[in-house]
Amino acid sequence: FLALYISNQENREHYSFSSSSSLHLSSPSLSLSRNWTHDVFPSFHGEDVRKDFLSHIQKGFERKGIRQFNDNEMERGESISFQLVRAIRESKIAVVLFSRNYASSTWCLDELVEIMKCRREFGQIVIAVFYKVDPSDVFRKTCDGKTNEEVRRWRVALAEVATIAGYHSSNWDNEADMVENIATDVSKKLTLFMRSIDFNYDLVGMGAHMEEMRRLLYLDSDEVRMIGIWGLPGIGKSTITKFLFKQLSQRFNVSLYIKDINALYTRPASSDVEFMSLLTYQKDNKVFNLRVEREKLKHKKVLVVIDNVHRSVQLDEMMKVSPWFGPGSRVVIAVQDREVLDAHRIGYVYRVALPSDYEAMQIFCMAAFGQKFPKDGFEDLARRVCNIAGRLPLRLKIMGSYFRGMSKQEWIDKIDKIDQL
Single out the residue of 247, 250, 249, 236 nearest to residue 210, CA to CA. Answer: 247
Cβ atoms < 10 Å from Cβ of 397:
21
39: left (phi over 0), alpha (psi -120 to 50) or beta: alpha
- Distance, in Å, from the CA atom of 82 to the CA atom of 39, rounded to the nearest integer, reads 19
Is 111 designated active site? yes
Which entry of 10, 13, 62, 111 is annotated as an active-site residue? 111
350 burial (CB, 10 Å; 0-12 / 13-18 / 19+) is: buried
Helix residue ranges per DSSP H, 249-337: 271-279, 290-297, 312-321
State the amino acid at position 36 in one-letter form.
W
Q: Does residue 304 contact residue 252 with C-beta atoms inside 8 Å? A: no
- Distance, in Å, from the CA atom of 271 to the CA atom of 291, rounded to the nearest integer, reads 14
Task: Give the bridge partners for 302, in sequence order.
Answer: 254
- Distance, in Å, from the CA atom of 58 to the CA atom of 49, rounded to the nearest integer, reads 11
CA 221 to each of CA 111, 158, 215, 393: distance values in angstroms, whole numbers, following the listed order: 23, 17, 11, 33
State the amino acid at position 72 in one-letter form.
N
The catalytic residue positions are 111
